Structure 1
Amino acid sequence: MEDFDAPLDFESEAPLSRQSPAANDGKRKKIIGLDDLLSHYYNPVDETSKKSKRKQFHSDDEEKNVKKKEELLSKFVFECQNQVNDIVAEDDIPLWGLQAFGKQKSLPPFDSADLTNSILLKSFIKCQTSSLLKLEMDQGEIFLDGLLVDKWLLNLVYLSGSVEDCLASWTFHKALYSSKKNVQEAGCDFWCSILSAEAEVYSYNVDIKWFPCFSAFKDALEVYGFIPYCIALPTLVSNDSFEIFGPPINIICWLKLLAVFCRIRNGHRLFSMSEVEEFFDIIVWLFLDHQLQGISFLLNECMLSLITFFTDKEWPDSSVKIVNSIASRIPMDLNCLRAVECISGVDKRSRTLRSQLSAQILSHSVGRPGARTMDLLKLILKDDVKDKDCDFLKIYIHLVLAENWLASDPSMNEDRAVSEAWLKYLRILSTQISNTDWRSYAAKVRNRAFYLKQTMRT
């Protein structure tokens, strides 16, 4: 039984012992007296002067260190900037692009007097009794434009089975020169509908006697302000705000009509071989105008129509003339690569033409027009990539041209010496250009050559 009167545990513990301060072993703390405090308070000059001197000494050293670091940093930034400038130097090289159109000329007039004698229109008007329609007829050309846009004129032609000369020439004129987009498109659709896919073998359901000639297309280009062999950028500017520069929207109809007229077969040709060869030259120059990039697909379609215009017997001679004409005029810069790339067809004629054009441009670039295959390869093998003044842009152009040339050249598979020389050229470009070479186009040449070398091995 617990004793509740017994003392608690802590009450029985011994009282805490008080320990004396530890001895200082002869070292006594300095006692600051009142006199010392007063002296420090009234005479702080000595202490602060010592601190200021120490601070000034340190600040001078820090300032020198800061200036030294700034100089090193500036030098480093300057070196980096130079290296970056070398890397982005390609941006300073003009890209491909020429101006194909200058100042547009005034539109040629069209004599619509013959339209009043059109039998088809007279019969149509005679059959109409609507007063509203007669009111529209009194408005002349506006009424005719409406017939064209609403396809009434096309339906009348289908019903009659023939197109009068006055209507044929008027619709063609509207397609090439009308400032109204819906009217020019309607004029173009009129001809494209009549010369439809079924009519490419010249089995017309509609009798047509009037066709545009070569000069009609050339005159339209002259009105548009076409520059025969283009000019280098920057583009022309005019001080006269009323002058219009650049391609008109009618160029779309011009291309569509040229393509459809070149597809006419069975001996009924609108153009001669030399005229189509000249058209081909024009299409290539149109490809070099940046303002026409939006209609590249249409340009490709037109070029394909021009290529298929020639018979198998005519094509070899005509292709040589086309290649020589383009290669002798094209600038030896990125525009020549653009000219090669615009021949994008995969058919045999397109591939052969692209190869021939590349070889001819390359021979002009090295100053040996018409050089043979091995001679041409030996000339480009002289490109020294280790030269500090090496022009890598020129080498890049040579590489791409040679690539397109040999891709469809029969000697690549038939002559082992040609393939070995080409492989040697690729090996030089892919191994002798350092990865740290930041000169313009150096990396592009090295990477493309390495890729082509790997594809040859596979």
Structure 2
Amino acid sequence: MAEEFDNLLNPEFDEQPLFTTKKRKKLIGLDDLFNDHKKKQDKTKKGKSKAVKTRNVCESDDDDDANETASKLTEALQNFKKTISEVDEDIGALNDIGREGISSNWGLQVFGTQRSPSPLAVPHLEGCSLLQNSMNNVLDALLDDSSQMGETFLEGLLLNGWLSKLVITRGHLEESIGKWTVNLLLYSSEESLMASACDFWCAIFCNEADAPVVKVEWLPGFVELNRALDSFGFQMHLPKKISSPADPTLDSSNHRGPPTNIRTWIKLANACFQVRRRYLALSKQEAEELIGMLICLFLERKLLGLTGALHDCLLSAIYFFEEKEWSSSCEKVAKSIADRIPRDLNCLRAVDSILGVDTRSKQLRSVVASQFLASFYTELQVTDAKDLLKFLLSNNLKDKNCNFSKIYLCLVLTENWLLFRTETGPLVNELWRSFIHKCSIQISNTNYRPFAQEIRNRASYLLHSTVRG
């Protein structure tokens, strides 16, 4: 019974239906085909529209990026043009230094074309007593032929240093030997003779206390020094044009002075200044004139290698004068220097050339600076430091028409004038601090006009030094 029941549940024992129903195939008509075709077209259109929309969105994004880039480029181009315009203005200002009334460098062509030398006439050199005595004494035994006596023999003595020893031993210098040696010193083209002649006169003019005094028949002085300087091409009236070491036209001619004799000229002038107590080679007026010439030599760039010798000579010149003469001579020398030298950076070079730390050098430096300042403001007749500083304080440094070149020169000259004065006073000191403070804050560090940064930096340094002091 149970087995029959299981068989009933088994599908294998199910009875087969009597009739089987066949599945009918679905008929596809033209309408169905048309609808399918239309659906496909709709899908294709939708796909194309989506692609177009996507492309439009991308193109829109690209257009936005392009517009943004173009605007940035336009802005950058405008900024660049603005910068170029500012640079052009700065370059124009730098190129138009003449509008500021000053050159950007110092240096003058102090020497022009050399002239024919005019040496001293030497009377009877071969007949001088020194040679005659030499022939009659031991020296003639050293000579095989008496024809060697004369100038050649004297040159040998000069080169070996024996000529000065003979003259000092005899205690007498004859005019012929004196003029002959000065000619060699100032005009000889042989450096050995030139240097030996210079050593000869330095030995004669020795200023030591225990040095023997030689009786000198003839002394070189201002006339000989001035004549030699004139033959070197020295220009008494200095040119206004600034000379530049890079200018090829200045050294294109071999005839432009000075010759190498300028070195011995400086040494001879130095010796003449030092021997006033023994030999009066120069007068007070001649010494004043020579100091003005010496200051001019500092402005010749070809003599930079002789700056030390020029400083020594200038110091000797300053102490040529007696104590009672110095004050008046200092004023005359300062006025002469201010009249000779143009009011540009050369006047600062002239002031800086007075380097001494002694009282007289400081006084001369201060007076020279004050004379240059007075020449700047001749119409104002400024002679007092208070009036000058008040006038300088009245300048508006922010004004585009402010003459920075003149302000810079006045700043440096006033510094030297006040720094080396014996008395200034509290009011002058306060006005000076106000002026340098104004110079340090009213000029921007982006102001590239000529001398703007020089004023700002120097004033800041002076202000810091004043506060610290």
Q: Give the TM-score range, shorter chain.
A: 0.7 to 0.9
Give the alignment partner of residue 232 of structure 1, picking from 235, 240, 257.
240
Give the alignment partner of residue 215 of structure 1, picking from 219, 223, 226.
223
Residues in 2 aligned to 1:410 and 1:260: alpha-carbon distance in whole angstroms: 31
Contact 1:363 1:371 in 2 (8 A): yes
Residues in 2 aligned to 1:379 and 1:68: alpha-carbon distance in whole angstroms: 48
Residues in 2 aligned to 1:193 and 1:121: alpha-carbon distance in whole angstroms: 20
Give 1:82's aligned amino acid: D
Give the alignment partner of residue 256 of structure 1, picking from 259, 267, 285.
267
CA pair 366-221 structure 1, distance change in 2 beyond 3 A:
same
Q: Measure how far apart 1:443 and its partner are.
A: 1.4
Give 1:147's aligned amino acid: L
Aligned to 1:128: 140
CA pair 430-97 structure 1, distance change in 2 beyond 3 A:
same
Secondary structure of the structure 1 residue equivalent to 2:165 = helix
CA pair 110-212 structure 1, distance change in 2 beyond 3 A:
closer
What is the correspondence of 1:273-422 to structure 2 with a 5 Å cutoff? 273-367=284-378, 368-369=380-381, 371-412=383-424, 415-422=425-432
Runs of at least 5 residues in structure 2 that lack an aligned partner in the other structure: 1-58
Residues in 1 aligned to 2:128 and 2:249: alpha-carbon distance in whole angstroms: 43
What is the correspondence of 1:148-167 to structure 2 with a 5 Å cutoff? 148-167=158-177
Give 2:217's aligned amino acid: K
Give 2:412's aligned amino acid: V
Residues in 2 aligned to 1:64 and 1:455: alpha-carbon distance in whole angstroms: 54
Contact 2:106 2:242 in 1 (8 A): no
Stretch of structure 1 that moved more, 395-404 or 105-114: 105-114
Q: Measure how far apart 1:440 and its partner are.
A: 1.8
Residues in 1 aligned to 2:391 and 2:71: alpha-carbon distance in whole angstroms: 57
Runs of at least 5 residues in structure 1 that lack an aligned partner in the other structure: 1-53
Q: Measure how far apart 1:438 and its partner are.
A: 2.0
Q: Measure how far apart 1:417 and its partner are.
A: 1.2
CA pair 268-197 structure 1, distance change in 2 beyond 3 A:
closer
Contact 1:188 1:256 in 2 (8 A): yes
Residues in 1 aligned to 2:278 and 2:162: alpha-carbon distance in whole angstroms: 31
- Aligned pairs, number: 396
Q: Measure how far apart 1:234 and its partner are.
A: 5.7
Contact 1:161 1:206 in 2 (8 A): yes
Secondary structure of the structure 1 residue equivalent to 2:399 = coil
Residues in 2 aligned to 1:242 and 1:78: alpha-carbon distance in whole angstroms: 42
Contact 1:366 1:379 in 2 (8 A): no
Q: Measure how far apart 1:109 and its partner are.
A: 4.4
The normalised TM-score by structure 2 is 0.76
Secondary structure of the structure 2 residue equivalent to 1:246 = coil
CA pair 314-253 structure 1, distance change in 2 beyond 3 A:
same
Secondary structure of the structure 1 residue equivalent to 2:343 = coil
Q: Tell me whether 1:190 sits opposite 2:196 in the alignment.
A: no
Secondary structure of the structure 2 residue equivalent to 1:114 = coil
Secondary structure of the structure 1 residue equivalent to 2:237 = strand
Q: Measure how far apart 1:87 and its partner are.
A: 9.5
The normalised TM-score by structure 1 is 0.77
Question: Could you list the runs of 4 or more consecutive aligned residues of structure 1 that deviate by over 6 angstroms after TM superposition?
Answer: 61-70, 86-92, 236-239
Max Rg structure: 2
Residues in 2 aligned to 1:243 and 1:375: alpha-carbon distance in whole angstroms: 50
| Identity fraction in percent | 36
Residues in 1 aligned to 2:146 and 2:271: alpha-carbon distance in whole angstroms: 37
CA pair 90-152 structure 1, distance change in 2 beyond 3 A:
farther
Give 1:153's aligned amino acid: L
